[in-house]
Amino acid sequence: MKKLILIATLPVLITACASDPAPYNPLDEFEQVNPATMLESPESVPNNQFTAEQRERGRYLVTLLGCGSCHTNGALVGQPRADQLLAGSDWGIAYTNPLQEINPGVVYPGNLTPDPETGIGNWSVAQIVAMLRTGMDNHGEQTLPIMPWPAYHEIVVDDATAIAAYLKSLPAVRHEVPGNVAPGQRASSPYVHFGVYQSRE
């Protein structure tokens, strides 16, 4: 099927090249993916710090709020890795318009398991609660609203604490996600973009 299309379009391409260079089509760089996948949230491990009720409530909320659909490796492109549930994504999300800029800014959803080096093992419960309510990270830096904290900011402290309790009780998974990429720099790991565009008129 592909071959047939190539043969059919070749003469057109050659004619186009002879007169004018083909215009840059940013969509050539992208293929459509279907990210919709049912995701399990991993079981937490009992400990002395949090009650079973808190951990279960947190697990329920994490599933409901879809944290894993961004923070699980492969989930953004419909292929979640079962061994990296909530352990961060090697696929990033573009936050400037990749249809206008060849090199958009890209953020990579982090590892939410308690691994101290690659995850959020060193975050306090209060810091995780602050992230959900205000988007402020553990260094006092504001994260972009791609992390949907504006949608979560009215979450009551008990629920946010239950999410923190659950995340802190997960088995730690060692997985370092790529660093964020500033607009204009070339991302060396793949990314997706979610687009909402308004008509010009």
User: Which of 35, 74, 121, 148 touches ligand HEC by CB under 6 A?
Assistant: 148
Encode 91-102: b = buried (16+ Cβ within 10 Å), e = exposed.
bbbbbeebeeee
How far is it, in rounded angstroms, from Cα 143 to Cα 101?
Answer: 22
User: Judged by CB under 6 A, does residue 94 bind ligand HEC?
Assistant: no
* CB 197 to ligand HEC: min, Å: 18
Size, binding site for ligand HEC by CB under 6 A: 24
With contacts defined by CB under 6 A, name the span among 12-20, 28-36, 48-56, 108-116 that binds ligand HEC.
108-116
| Residue the block writes with tokens 């999300």 | 93
User: Judged by CB under 6 A, does residue 107 bind ligand HEC?
Assistant: yes
User: Tokens representing 162?
Assistant: 């239950």
Q: How many CB atoms lie within 10 A of CB 131?
A: 22
* CB 95 to ligand HEC: min, Å: 8
* CB 65 to ligand HEC: min, Å: 4
User: Tokens representing 88?
Assistant: 């961060």
User: Which of 52, 144, 157, 182 touches ligand HEC by CB under 6 A?
Assistant: 144
Q: Which is nearer to ligand HEC, 9 or 185 (CB)?
A: 185
User: Which of 77, 99, 136, 146 touches ligand HEC by CB under 6 A?
Assistant: 146
How far is it, in rounded angstroms, from Cα 77 to Cα 42?
Answer: 20
Cα distances from 105 to residues 24, 61, 110, 131, 135, in angstroms, run 19, 29, 16, 21, 18
The dihedral of CA 66, 149, 91, 43: what is its sign? Answer: negative
User: Which of 39, 87, 94, 128 touches ligand HEC by CB under 6 A?
Assistant: 128
How far is it, in rounded angstroms, from Cα 65 to Cα 21?
Answer: 47
Q: Which is nearer to ligand HEC, 99 or 146 (CB)?
A: 146
User: Judged by CB under 6 A, does residue 93 bind ligand HEC?
Assistant: yes
Cα distances from 154 to residues 27, 67, 148, 160, in angstroms, run 37, 16, 12, 10
Q: Which residues sit at the interface with ligand HEC, rule CB under 6 A?
A: 62, 65-67, 69-71, 93, 107, 109-110, 112, 120, 128, 131, 137, 143-144, 146-148, 152, 163, 180
